[in-house]
Structures are given as structure tokens and as C-alpha cells.
């Protein structure tokens, strides 16, 4: 729900195609914030719902009705700020899951905490807002919608990783890169940042990549630089991790991909490298995959 001072047009009940009654004329959105505990296991941010609310007394996500003009991401972040005091600049969205009932959908934004959060009940809909260990979620009476989505969401807590073979992708685009390798690498890293910020629809991922059925992913993107392109690493865009290969670029790509948690993609057309990536559990896609995503108008 919205505060009176910016009440949206989404407040109201609707009946979905499955015959349920839901809050939010244009659907609803919620934030699944998560972070690692000291022992490496995950914990998620939950709202203990006020008794008077729909499914009162249960535990679920900070969320609520979306306004007609509002993206799911904007709606989820607004609700989390209003109801749980979550600073939107302290979370990084990794994925979007659409639980579509037909005529109504609940969209969950998965986001990892990248800075200290100070969650607390800041709206009238929360009894409490707490970090809760994923392993102990079964101890709580969960909101039925959240409980149903949880098996999918749990599998999606690890973000998609995309590793870009910068030399190979550069070489696939005849834009004069051979005259200025560092400049061309810099341009490609900018494209990588576009991918990280804009994300990739789940439908654009290769079928053979095992992953959760998310509608959208905001991947962690890294670019591996070698040779004369290395000087581009002095001015990398902040949305991209730059890995500078000390020797062979291929060796650096395989070593980097090996330590990433799936799902993971490597962007390269190099056949031998594609085979080596498969050995470390990464799925390879060609340069066109990346270039189509970043060059098409959004």
C-alpha cells in the first residue's frame, strides 16, 4: 500500500483468473533482500505482517500494490523503503520473478544487500522486519503467496554471472579495433556495463543453461583483458568487474569462470575455450548474443 502523500492508483482488490482475491489493481511487487551470514549461509529480509492486513500475522516480503506507471523494480524498492526502512541504494537487484496468476501478478525483485541495511517497521503494515536464516524459514507461518514462490526464489538467490572474452568479442566486430585495442576494449567494457545495468530477459538465455525460471536477470558481468587491451583496465565502468590476464587470456577466463557459482555464461566464439568452459560448468554463448542485447534499443 502507498502512503497518502504519494498514493498511487493501484490500491484496490482484484480477482485473478485462478479465482483468488488480491490486493493491487495493477499487480503487486515485493523485495526479497538477501545477504550472506558469517558462516556462508544466506538470510533473507522478512516482514511480520500486521494482524489487520490480508493474511495478517504471517511472514512475507516487503511489498504491496504497484501503481500503473511504476515498474516492478521501482514498486518493490518503494514499498521496501516505506514499510521496512530499506535504503534502495543499499541493495543491488539481481533478478525478477513473476508469479503470474492471469489478470494479476506478484513480481518479486531479488536483491542482495551491498551495504548496511537498517531494517525496521516504518509503515503501519509491519509488526516487525527482520533478517531470517534461509535454513529456518520452515519455523515461520509464511504468507501463502510467498510460501508458494519460495522454492523458486531460493534457487535464484545466486546471481547470473557473465564472463566476457574481451579480445574475442572485439575481434568479431570490424570497427577498427586493430588500430586502437585499448580504446576498443574500453568501448566493449561500456557495453558490458549496459548489460549489467539493463539486465537480460530470462527468455534470452540459452536453453542449456540450468537456472531458476526468472523473467529477468541483472547479471554480474566481468570482462577479461589481455595484451594491448590491458590499459583499458585503468578506466573501467563501475558496473563491470575487470580481470587482467597476467598471461594467456584463455587461462585467465577459465580460472575466473571456475570459481564462479552457477548459473554462469562465458561470451566467446573460441571453440577450444568453449570446451574448457564447459569443463568448469559454464555455458558458452557467441559474441552476437552480447552485442544483440546491448545494441538493440531498450
Binding residues for Zn ion, total number by CB under 5 A: 4
20 forms part of the interface with Zn ion (CB under 5 A): yes
Interstrand relation of 161-165 and 62-65 (parallel, antiparallel or unpaired): unpaired
Q: Which helix (H) or strand (E) holds 264?
A: strand 264-267
The length of the chain is 298
Q: Which residue has the cell 537498517?
A: 118
Using DSSP, state whether 276 is helix, strand or coil. Answer: helix
Q: Which of 90, 92, 101, 173 binds Zn ion (CB under 5 A)?
A: 101
147 forms part of the interface with Zn ion (CB under 5 A): no
- Which residue lies nearer to Zn ion by CB, 18 or 36? 18
Cα gap 41→25, rounded to integer Å: 37
54 forms part of the interface with Zn ion (CB under 5 A): no
Task: Report residue 73 as a C-alpha cell.
Answer: 523494480
Task: Report residue 287 as a C-alpha cell.
Answer: 559474441
Residues 6 or more apart in contact with residue 58 via CB below 8 angstroms: 49, 140, 141, 142, 143, 144
Q: Give the nearest distance from C-beta 27 to Zn ion in angstroms.
A: 10
204 forms part of the interface with Zn ion (CB under 5 A): no
Q: Give the nearest distance from C-beta 98 to Zn ion in angstroms.
A: 13
37 forms part of the interface with Zn ion (CB under 5 A): no
Candidates 11-19, 198-206, 226-234, 282-290; binding stretch for Zn ion (CB under 5 A): 11-19
Q: Which of 3, 7, 18, 136 binds Zn ion (CB under 5 A)?
A: 18
Per CB under 5 A, residues contacting Zn ion are 16, 18, 20, 101
Amino acid at each position: 500500500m502507498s502512503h497518502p502523500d504519494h498514493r498511487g492508483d493501484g490500491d484496490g482488490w482484484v480477482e485473478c483468473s485462478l479465482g483468488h482475491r488480491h490486493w493491487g489493481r495493477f499487480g503487486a511487487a515485493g523485495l526479497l533482500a538477501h545477504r550472506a551470514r558469517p558462516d556462508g549461509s544466506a538470510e533473507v529480509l522478512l516482514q511480520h505482517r500486521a494482524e489487520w492486513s490480508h493474511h495478517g500475522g504471517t511472514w512475507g516480503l516487503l511489498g504491496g500494490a504497484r501503481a500503473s506507471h511504476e515498474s516492478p523494480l521501482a514498486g518493490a524498492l518503494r514499498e521496501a523503503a516505506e514499510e521496512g526502512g530499506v535504503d534502495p541504494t543499499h541493495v543491488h537487484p539481481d533478478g525478477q520473478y513473476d508469479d503470474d496468476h492471469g489478470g494479476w501478478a506478484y513480481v518479486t525483485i531479488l536483491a542482495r544487500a551491498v551495504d548496511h541495511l537498517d531494517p525496521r517497521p516504518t509503515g503501519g503494515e509491519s509488526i516487525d522486519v527482520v533478517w531470517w536464516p534461509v535454513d529456518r524459514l520452515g519455523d515461520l507461518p509464511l504468507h501463502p503467496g510467498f510460501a508458494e514462490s519460495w522454492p523458486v526464489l531460493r534457487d535464484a538467490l545466486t546471481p547470473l554471472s557473465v564472463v566476457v572474452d574481451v579480445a574475442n568479442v572485439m575481434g568479431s566486430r570490424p570497427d577498427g579495433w586493430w588500430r586502437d585495442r585499448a580504446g576498443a576494449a574500453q568501448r566493449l567494457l561500456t557495453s558490458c556495463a549496459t548489460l549489467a545495468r539493463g539486465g537480460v530477459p530470462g527468455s534470452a538465455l540459452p536453453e542449456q543453461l540450468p537456472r531458476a525460471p526468472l523473467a529477468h536477470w541483472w547479471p554480474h558481468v566481468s570482462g577479461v583483458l589481455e595484451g594491448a587491451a590491458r590499459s583499458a583496465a585503468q578506466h573501467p565502468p563501475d558496473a563491470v568487474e575487470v580481470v587482467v590476464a597476467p598471461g594467456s587470456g584463455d587461462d585467465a577466463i577459465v580460472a575466473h569462470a571456475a570459481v564462479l557459482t552457477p548459473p554462469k555464461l562465458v561470451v566467446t566464439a573460441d571453440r577450444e575455450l568453449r570446451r574448457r568452459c564447459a569443463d568448469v560448468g559454464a555455458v558458452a554463448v557467441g559474441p552476437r548474443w552480447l552485442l544483440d542485447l546491448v545494441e538493440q534499443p531498450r
